[in-house]
Amino acid sequence: MKKLSLLIGLILLGVLSSQAQSIKEVDGVYYRGSTPYTGFYTSVYSNGNTRLEMNLIDGEKDGEVLVYFENGELNEIRSYKKNVMHGSWITYNERKQKIGLANYQNGKKHGEWKIWDDQGNLLYDMYYRDGEKTGVWKQYDSEGQLISERQF
């Protein structure tokens, strides 16, 4: 019985591995064979750690895409709608500190953007509307003091 369970496990592992390897990205669209792939997709680094995780619909990214450092820590959370940047993108450094926030709407920069240094100090506070700079852009030093301000 143990041998049968082991054999079934190895067969399932082989099937899953062959399916993961058969998905290819061509010009931003993911295919299994010649058909755009629909489903959850994960790719891994050579060390076995996850490289990225995402949902695909008809070969296109849709929803959150999680990107990891090779050490397994989360690097980025990206948002897509029908393969177009849409929603918040958050970037972390390898020490799990948030260092970037960007927002998109239908592929254009839209909303609040922030950049922090590796210690978590806010350096830039910016805004976009339909891909254009807007509002008051602020820059801070590493002590949190406002050093410049510009109106767009």
Q: Tens digit of pLDDT for each residue in 17-67? A: 444 458 999 999 999 999 999 999 999 999 999 999 999 999 999 999 999
Element (H, E) at 19: helix 2-22
Q: What is the pLDDT of residues 67-113, one digit of tens each?
A: 999 999 999 999 999 999 999 999 999 999 999 999 999 999 999 99
Distance CA 115, CA 96 (A): 15
Lookup: tokens for 88: 């918040």
Instruction: Give this prediction's pTM.
Output: 0.82
38-56: buried (b, 16+ CB within 10 Å) or exposed (e) per residue?
Answer: eeebeeeeeeeeebbebeb
Beta-sheet pairing, 122-129 with 136-140: antiparallel
* Domains with residue ranges and CATH for the chain: 2-151 (3.90.930)
Is the separation of the CB atoms in 123 and 107 below 8 Å? no
CB 87 within 8 A of CB 76: no
Asked if residue 10 has pLDDT above 50, the reply is no
Question: For the chain, how many residues are written?
Answer: 152
